[in-house]
Structure 1
């Protein structure tokens, strides 16, 4: 079996890290709960334009930074606060010990994503890492999964033996479907919107892995 994992909010708690950094930044600037709520909302779960988010932060907190400096400031804050989810790297080790191949497939700025990967010590637990900024193609474009499969030596593998696992329906589930793989959605307690559900849905990445690797689900391939 081949496993392709999103990074942010799948293997590592990116939104938790942003929220922790934002709370500290607001406190340091004598901001208010309203400022914190506005900054977290402007982040849009990591999918907002970084310059737009920086402008909200600068305006709310009265920073003297220009937009590029503010972007780097909050990116550094995320890197400082990010952590791998409890037990998830062990789950990757279990998959690999069973002979499965594992890759990270992540959208984002190369330095930022590599920084989070290094901070959380993800690399020793996977066989390949693919970052959109380094490849010139991003999820949901299926070409990024083809790159990952090639790096794993599995370019010709039956796509029904491949799992794309992630928390973002519009990127992770969509790219899996476009590439013809099986899809697993990490819901974090959210309800799936729409009728066409992924193959597996669970609240946490570890639960997703356990369900997807179960004999019952494996027989559906």
Structure 2
């Protein structure tokens, strides 16, 4: 089996890291709960415009930074706080020890995403890392899945034996569908509210892996 994992909010707690940084930044600036709520909302779980987020931060916290400097400032704060989810690296090791191939497939800039990978010690636990900013193509474009499979030496793999695992329906589930793989959605307790439910839905990445790797999740030839 081949496993392709999203990075943010799938292997590492990006939302938690941003929240921790934002809370400290608001406190340092003498802001209040409304400021924090506005900043977190503008982040859109990491999927919003970085320029729009920086503008909200500058306006709310009274920073003198221009927008590019503000972006670099909150990105550095995320790196400072980001951590892997408990037990998830062990789960990756279990998959690889069983002979499965594992890759990270993430949208973002090379510096930021590689920084998270390094900070969380992920590289020794996977076989490949594919970053959209390095490849010039991003989820949900299925070409990024093809690139990952090529890096794994599995370009001709049966797509029924490939899992795309991630928390973002519009990116992770969508790219898996577009590429013809199986899909596992990490819900973080949310309900799936769209059509075409993913093959697996679970509140955490470890639970998603367990379900996908179970006999019920296995491909029946």
Q: Same fold (TM over 0.5)?
A: yes
What are the residue-to-residue correspondences of 1:7-156 with 2, within 5 Å? 7-156=7-156
CA shift digits 1:150-173 (9 cap, x unpaired): 000000010000000000000000
* Structure 1 residue ranges (4+ consecutive) displaced by more than 3 angstroms after TM superposition: none
CA contact (8 A) 2:160 2:219 kept: no
CA distance in 2, matches of 1:114, 1:219: 33
Instruction: Give the superposition deviation at 1:70.
Output: 0.3
Supply the distance in 1 between the matched residues of 2:130 and 2:119 (Cα, whole angstroms): 17
- Structure 2 Cα separation of the partners of residues 16 and 88 of structure 1: 16
Partner of 1:184: helix, strand, or coil? strand
The alpha-carbon deviation at position 31 of structure 1 amounts to: 0.5
In 2, distance between residues paired with 1:195 and 1:175? 15
Q: C-alpha distance in 1, partners of 2:70/2:218?
A: 46
**Structure 2 regions of 5+ residues with no counterpart?**
none
- For the residues of structure 2 that align with 1:177 and 1:220, how far apart are their CA atoms? 19
| Equivalence for 2:171 | 171
Q: Size of the alignment, in residue pairs?
A: 221
SS in 2 for 1:217: coil
* Length-normalised TM-score, structure 2: 0.99
CA RMSD of superposed structures (Å): 0.7
Map 1:158-197 onto structure 2 (within 5 A): 158-197=158-197
